[in-house]
Amino acid sequence: MKKLTKIVVLAAALSLFVAACSSSSDDTTTTTEASGGDGGLTGSLLISGSSTVEPVSALNAEAWRAIHPEVGVTVEGPGTGDGFAKFCAGETDISDASRAIKEEEAADCEANGIEFIELLFAIDGLSVLTSTNNDAVSCVSFSDLYALLGPESTGFTSWSDADGLAGELDGTNAPYPDADLVVTAPGEESGTYDSFVEIVLEDIADERGQDAATRPDYTASANDNVIIEGISGSDTSLGWVGYAFFLANQDKVSALEVDGGDGCVGPTPETIADGTYPIARPLFIYVNKAKAEESEALVSYVDYYLSDEGLNSVDQAGYVRLADYGPVREVWETRTTGAADL
């Protein structure tokens, strides 16, 4: 009896272990077996940076790797700043970014002898949303958004609570309707939050000696679908999400026109691409030039990224294509280094 148990137990333990080992070696064999592609490229690519850009890079990596199955690819999205820190230390091949590289980051790269090629490949528009039932407001200025969502609006529960604050600012649409102000938007940990603060609130906040941040008292969510639910759930709601989510939910929410100083403009692919819609941010990939000279795989991946096929991922991830890809392809073909803005 005892001997039997012992054998059973040992067999169980052994099979568990063998199963574990054999399946991890399965992993290797499947990847090798799949190498029927015509790529012939090897090596591995490490892509890090913005979590906003991560979906595009990941979709492209997956599609591209179907042609070049021998190449290893890792795409991470810790954030633009973290991404540049790694990139400028020479750890990554490509850095995804939802803003242009900052001067101190570029200096860091230079100090480490890292030359980069800056490739602007898409634009992300942020839509300011309200319920489809809200017909009292159709256009908001940056000042309106500051009065309703900025750091000084903490505690406002009705749109009209912001009237006094709006009086101190220029170019507002105050007085506002006396209706519940229900705010649903991304939380502080998200890149979308960051962009909204940077583009819309920061300048006014700086002028008034306030922190560049939103009011803390709103419903925050990491899931854009939940934000859409929240905005459609109240007739007098306010919030913002990436343009893609507005597009997918036009039946539930409506986008307000935004006045960035040059009149009211609604978000459309055209206005976002040509820069007339004021709340938009550029999406970049930064390629390490020296690594691109060494690695055929890296060149092939970036080629794919900027090809018509690769740009399908931009649509799929919900961002807006540039009007003309000629210049950026030119920058890549000539391997032009440096940042356009610095």
Partner 1 sequence: MTTSITRRQEATQADVAKAIQRSGIQWRSTLFHAGLLLLLLTTLVILLVLLADIMIKAWPTFAERGVSFVTDGLSLNPETAGVFTGIMGSIAIAVIVILLAFPIGVSSAIYLEEYAPDTRLSRFLDTTVRNLAGVPSIVYGLLGGSTDGKNVIAAGITMSALVLPIVIITASEAIRAVPDSIREAGYGVGATKWEVVRSHVMPSALPGILTGTVLTLARAIGETAPLLVIGVATGYFAPPGDATFVDQITGSYTALPVIVFSWSRQTQAEFADTLAPAAIIVLLVVLFVLNGAAIWLRNKTENRW
Partner 2 sequence: MTQQLTLEDLAGDAKRRNRERRVKVLFVAAGLVSIAVSILIILSLAGEAWSFISQVDLSSLWTVGWFPRRGLYDIPTLIIATTIIAGIGMLVAIPLGLGAAAYLAEYASPRARRWLKPTVEILAGIPSVVLGFWALTFISPEVVARIFSSAKPFTMMAAGLGVGVLITPLVATVSEDAMKAVPMSLREASYGLGADRAVTVRKVVFPAALSGIVASMILALSRAIGETMIVFMAAGAVGGALRTFNPLDPGQTMTAAIAALATGSDQVAGQGLTFQSLFFVGLLLFLITLALNSLSNRFVRKYREQY
Query: Which partner from the list partner 1, partner 2, none does 55 bind, CB cut-off 5 to 8 Å by kind?
Result: partner 1
Choices 41-49, 119-127, 207-215, 268-276; region in contact with partner 1 by CB under 8 A: 41-49
Query: Which partner from the list partner 1, partner 2, none does 44 bind, CB cut-off 5 to 8 Å by kind?
Result: partner 1
Give the largest Cα separation in the chain, rounded. 89
Distance CA 151, CA 222 (A): 20
In 3D, which of 293, 330, 317 has the Cα closest to residue 75?
A: 317
Size of the site for partner 1 (CB under 8 A): 47
Choice between 189 and 293, CB closer to partner 2: 189
Q: C-beta of 182: minimal distance to partner 2 in Å?
A: 10
In 3D, which of 121, 290, 127, 294 has the Cα closest to residue 199?
A: 127
Give the CA count within 13 Å in the CB-facing half-sphere of 76: 17
Q: C-beta of 40: minimal distance to partner 1 in Å?
A: 11
CA angle 61, 67, 69 (to 5 degrees): 75
Q: C-beta of 269: minimal distance to partner 2 in Å?
A: 26
Distance CA 120, CA 53 (A): 11
Choice between 186 and 267, CB closer to partner 2: 186
Choice between 172 and 237, CB closer to partner 2: 237
- Burial of residue 315 (CB within 10 Å: 0-12, 13-18, 19+) is middle
Q: C-beta of 60: minimal distance to partner 1 in Å?
A: 9
In 3D, which of 73, 94, 74 has the Cα closest to residue 83?
A: 94
Choice between 24 and 334, CB closer to partner 1: 24
Tell me which residue has tokens 């507005």.
Answer: 246
Task: Among 7, 11, 14, 21, indicate the residue that binds partner 1 (CB under 8 A).
Answer: 21
3-class DSSP assignment, residue 83: helix
Structural contact between residues 73 and 90, judged by C-beta atoms closer than 8 angstroms: no
By CB under 8 A, tell whether 14 contacts partner 1: no
Q: C-beta of 1: minimal distance to partner 1 in Å?
A: 8
Distance CA 92, CA 306 (A): 19
Binding site residues, partner 2, CB under 8 A: 50-51, 77-82, 154, 187-191, 193-194, 211, 213, 216-217, 219-223, 226, 229-230
Task: Among 52, 61, 126, 277, indicate the residue that binds partner 1 (CB under 8 A).
Answer: 61
Contacts of 322 by beta carbon, 8 Å cutoff, 6+ apart = 120, 121, 122, 123, 273, 328
Distance CA 118, CA 110 (A): 14
Choices 59-67, 111-119, 282-290, 303-311; region in contact with partner 1 by CB under 8 A: 59-67
Choice between 134 and 190, CB closer to partner 2: 190
Considering only residues 314 to 333 of the shown chain, the ones binding partner 1 according to CB under 8 A are 316, 318
Tell me which residue has tokens 């934000």.
Answer: 227
By CB under 8 A, tell whether 269 contacts partner 1: no
Q: C-beta of 73: minimal distance to partner 1 in Å?
A: 6
Neighbours of 201 (CB within 10 A): 22
Q: Note the residues at the interface with partner 1 (CB under 8 A).
A: 1-2, 5-6, 8-9, 12-13, 16-17, 20-21, 23-24, 27-28, 30-32, 35, 42-44, 54-55, 57-59, 61-62, 65, 69-77, 222-225, 245, 316, 318
